[in-house]
Amino acid sequence: MNPYELTLGQAADHLATKKLSSRELVRSCLDRIEQVEPQIKAFLDVQSEQSLIQADRADERLAWGNAGPLCGIPVSIKDLICTKGITTTCGSRMLENFVPPYDATVIERLKEAGAILIGKVAMDEFAMGSTTESCAFQVPDNPWKSGYVCGGSSGGSAASVAARECMASLGSDTGGSIRQPASLCGVVGLKPTYGRVSRYGLVAFASSLDQIGPLTRDVRDCALMMNVISGYDPRDSTSVQRTVPDYTTALTEGLTGMTIGLPREYFASGLDPEVEQVTMRGVEVLKAAGANVVEVSLPHTDYCLAVYYLIAPAEASSNLARYDGVSYGLRDHKADSLLEMYKESRSRGFGDEVKRRILIGTYALSSGYYDAYYKKASQVRTLILDDFQQAFTRCDLLISPVVPTPAWKIGEKSDDPLALYLSDVLTTPANLAGIPGISVPGGLTASGLPVGIQLQGPHFGEENLLRAAYNLEQGLALPAAWPQLV
């Protein structure tokens, strides 16, 4: 077995027992990147030399016996998480040459744990999209089927893990941007509770919805990553001061005493039959593990997409106002006036999807429309949260599909923004409510495309979420197959 084929947990065990060196592991991943990147196009920046230097330092720490839990493990980073000295573009021409002078908190914690940042990966521009097709630089390919989308906005993260170019990745989830590409690429993706992981150093899209989380090859790897990145950060005003458990201790077999809710609204018309079949297979696996399954209702589900596409663009309009060509970012130097400079800098710097959402958000916040749109959406958001709280009085977790369909062809929905927005219908509710959600690989369609199964839990319910995800993974017992790229 090549070192790049190991899971994060396996690689950590090999490093700890001296069966493998970090340099050998990183070199294997770099060779893999060189081999498959012409097809996958997940990486915007590969830190080849620096990662090997970090690997040698990791090997020294391992030899001294003072290594962190991720010491020597190569991970990729979504390109909207600030990395000191490494370009952070947000997939946009606006920040094409932006090099942050500091690390995000999650990057600091990865480095403290000994992880090696092997590179930055592609994403939808400013995290606005469901396919990574809005990336200004390149569109990643789905490792399972060439010519198909890998999901978004953390598409490069999911693709890099599925293509075995790294052991794990960090992404961000504003309306499903971790769980959706995880489902389409056949990897595990967790959106933590809002406030569980620091957002300091995450370039903001929609501040009340954004959350950083891991994408990994299996559930154990996900728990290992969560152990490192979770916890209070005084630099993030939304960070919650709450003890971080050892999430790996939750990975026990058996779900006796746990009740799983099946939300009837998540199985409406438009759901692909193969996706429904995979999800119901997951339900049977959880039953076999000892869980009780009950039907529940989330009556305001039909409003979630409309609420999300008012709140998220409104917050994006506010957050992206700073990109005016003055302080940093792309600047038009040919303009004859200040107003013209503003206009040309933003017109050239932002892509079509970002402009679309800025326009929607600015309209929703404008005088005379704020109460009718943004305020009303915020009120309905409270009702959506109430739905989840009521459901969790009857059950511990919820199970559902992640995306209504498997992956589709690149370009198939590019001219139909509404169709792309509808792909988020089953993931946006968790962001609006601030609850955690995870996508676990459920199997493949007849045409060989991955389908994920979504589990959602109450605030700070990640332990039960990971326990159920682990039992789902073990019970499905899917063949240890990965995309055959070469």
Report, as residue numbers or ranges, the catalytic residues.
78, 153, 177
Q: Are the CB atoms for 161 and 33 separated by under 8 Å?
A: no
**Nearest-CA neighbor of 176 among 158, 195, 202, 153?**
153
Print burial letters for 83-107: b (CB count within 10 Å at least 16), e (below 16): beebebbbbbbbbeebebeebbbbb
Which pair of structure tokens corresponds to residue 52?
A: 């090997």
Q: Residue 40 pairs with which residues in a beta bridge?
A: none
Is 229 exposed, middle or buried, given 0-12, 13-18 or 19+ CB atoms closer than 10 A? buried
Q: Are strands 188-191 and 212-216 parallel, antiparallel or unpaired?
A: antiparallel
Tokens 């008012």 sit at which residue?
310
Helices 376-391/301-319 angle, 10° precision: 130
- CB-CB neighbours of 259 under 10 Å: 15
Alpha-carbon torsion, ordered 126, 129, 133, 135, to 10 deg: 0
Indicate the residue type of 215. L
